């Protein structure tokens, strides 16, 4: 493994430090504003290990943004290639860190963290030139002769705050978008995933230009210090409580934000023919990463008694097929992030099973076993869960799947629409009219039909919430535009002054002419 270094990686320096060496391929923006090597190269162990103080990191990134360091297309492409090289050369270390923090199996880590990030990089490199190309806009006859365009311009310096549940991908995927858009970036990995945070702090300066990307590690104190600084955009992924804090801090400086939060994503099962496949798809969406996924099915609404019966039969079979009879011994099942989160989730489970306060107890269909020392909670299925239980009052964010029976599809839709808008909504059915009704009446950040979780893996689909589940989107072009200003520009020649008709004084002849033109 490469040792920590505060110098610029050779494969990036070769393409970005000396535009005079590029000859006819030199970036015209570099020629207009000077060579990028006017920005000093940072040094010292804090930069090399990603342990820089918040204030120092922000000052460096703002200076680089002012000097347009990250604007040229070649620089952006070199940074993206640096991320791709990091993924190729350090995938083993990334998987090891994720195993230490979350018990993630290596294959799951590759499927849900490394490869999605690689997909974002490849997509950005493929379309970067197209995204940067100004888009022509139509000019009405009354404005001609003139030309109009919309151009994606870098915002400047941005902050990305990542969560702990997918601590690598949910930091690096927004980074891909921010780098592609030509911004300098301050990264704040989650302190609750310490192995991944330390690894990112060490790898970023090795594979990316440290003049354009900085890493700040630490906890709430460091986050507060960063939020007190001025950024051109803040991108936050995490819970609603901290999201409100970020939003409030950003509002004080009128900083635009993207908030990727969460919520209770419903899964409606109206009918089916292949119950085994339905159960496997729901179980995969729910128990990947031990249920700690913001778009995992939070609960199931089973339409009718037969649907409930089939799910109670096939979900335990799918769990056993995935993880064996003892999931704690399975090499393919993850762990809760820490004992505190495990204890919170177990308390919700115990409350549902105990009932009380006029509530009937839920029925345990499968699982329920926990081991705090091992941060283990067995994949669990509950049925007949009261709608007013604590389990249904907040996002579970763990491997507990409640099943609530409703009598009709209409009742399922009303159940969802009476609650806050979720980050995702799922429907399993063979009836096309249910598809149309679900799309028309349910408001959610995203939807998937007859599958769960997979919609977030498409770079061609924007990902984001709505209302309490978040604001703003990213992935693919949506991420590029999130970190860009879509700046309009109008050019009108002054060789012939066609605007004389609208200049005062407004004589009778002008008024008559304008009536005919407008």
**Residues designated catalytic:** 260
Structure tokens at 93: 């270390």
- 300: which 2 tokens? 């199931």
Task: Categorise residue 355: left if φ over 0, alpha if ψ from -120 to 50, beta otherwise.
Answer: left
* Helix, strand, or coil (residue 458): coil
Place of tokens 């989730």: 345
CA distance 96 to 111: 14
As a whole number of angstroms, the distance between CA 381 and CA 404 comes to 11
Q: Are 385 and 402 in contact (CB under 8 A)?
A: yes
Strand partners, 137: 148
Contact (CB, 8 A) for 360 and 387: no
CA dist 58 and 245 (Å) reads 20
Distance CA 40, CA 64 (A): 9
Joined together, the tokens standing for residue 125 give: 């490199």
Helices and strands of the chain, counted as H and E runs: 19, 20
Q: Which residues of 242-271 are buried (b: 16+ CB within 10 A; e: fewer)?
A: bbeebeebbeeeebbbbbbbbbbbbbbbbb
The C-alpha angle with vertex 367 and arms to 364 and 371, in degrees rounded to 5, equals 125
DSSP 162-187: --SSSTTHHHHHHHHHHHHTT-EEEE
Q: DSSP assignment, residue 2?
A: P
Return d(Cα 380, Cα 401) in angstroms, integer.
6
Q: Report whether the peptide linkage leading into residue 330 is cis, meaning its omega lies within 30 degrees of zero.
A: no
Helix residue ranges per DSSP H, 269-427: 275-287, 305-323, 339-354, 409-417
β-pair partners for 484: 154
């Amino acid at each position: 493994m490469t040792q920590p270094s505060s110098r610029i990686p050779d494969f990036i320096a070769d393409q970005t430090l000396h535009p005079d060496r590029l000859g006819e391929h030199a970036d015209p923006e570099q020629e207009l504003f000077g060579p990028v090597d006017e920005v000093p190269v940072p040094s010292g162990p804090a930069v090399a290990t990603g342990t820089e103080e918040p204030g120092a990191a922000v000052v460096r990134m703002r200076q680089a943004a002012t000097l347009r360091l990250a604007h040229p297309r070649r620089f952006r492409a070199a940074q993206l290639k640096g991320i791709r090289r990091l993924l190729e050369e350090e995938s083993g270390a990334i998987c090891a860190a994720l195993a230490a923090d979350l018990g993630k199996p290596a294959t799951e880590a590759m499927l849900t963290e490394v490869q999605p990030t690689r997909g974002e990089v490849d997509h950005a490199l493929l379309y970067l030139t197209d995204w940067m190309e100004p888009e022509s806009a139509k000019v009405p006859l009354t404005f001609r002769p003139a030309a109009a365009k919309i151009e994606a311009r870098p915002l400047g310096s941005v902050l990305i705050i990542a969560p702990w549940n997918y601590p690598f991908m949910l930091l690096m995927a927004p980074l891909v978008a921010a780098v592609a858009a030509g911004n300098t970036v301050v990264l704040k990995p989650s302190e609750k995933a310490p192995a991944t945070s330390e690894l990112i702090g060490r790898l970023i300066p090795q594979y990316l230009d440290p003049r354009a990307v900085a890493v700040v590690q630490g906890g709430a104190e460091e986050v507060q210090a960063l939020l007190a600084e001025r950024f051109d955009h803040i991108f936050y992924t995490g819970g609603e409580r901290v999201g409100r804090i970020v939003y409030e801090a950003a509002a004080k400086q009128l900083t635009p934000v993207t908030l990727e939060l969460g919520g209770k994503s419903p899964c409606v099962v109206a009918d089916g023919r292949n119950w085994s496949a339905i159960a496997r798809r729901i179980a995969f969406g729910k128990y990947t990463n031990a249920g700690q996924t913001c778009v995992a099915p939070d609960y199931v609404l089973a339409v009718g008694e037969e649907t409930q019966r089939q799910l109670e039969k096939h979900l335990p079979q799918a769990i056993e097929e995935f993880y064996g009879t003892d999931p704690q011994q399975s090499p393919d099942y993850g762990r809760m992030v820490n004992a505190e989160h495990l204890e919170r989730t177990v308390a919700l489970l115990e409350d549902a099973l105990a009932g009380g306060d006029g509530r009937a107890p839920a029925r345990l269909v499968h699982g329920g076993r926990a081991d705090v020392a091992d941060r283990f909670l067995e994949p669990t299925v509950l049925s007949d869960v009261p709608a007013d239980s604590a389990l249904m009052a907040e996002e579970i964010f763990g491997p507990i799947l409640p099943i609530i029976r409703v009598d009709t599809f209409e009742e399922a839709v009303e159940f969802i629409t009476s609650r806050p808008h979720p980050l995702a909504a799922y429907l399993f059915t063979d009836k096309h009219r249910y598809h149309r009704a679900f799309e028309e009446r349910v408001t959610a950040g995203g939807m998937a039909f007859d599958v769960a979780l997979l919609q977030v893996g498409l770079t061609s689909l924007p990902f984001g919430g709505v209302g309490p589940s978040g604001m703003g989107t990213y992935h693919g072009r949506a991420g590029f535009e999130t970190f860009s200003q879509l700046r309009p520009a109008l050019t009108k020649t002054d060789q012939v002054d066609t605007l004389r008709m609208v200049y005062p004084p407004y004589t009778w002849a002008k008024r008559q002419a304008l009536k005919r033109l407008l």
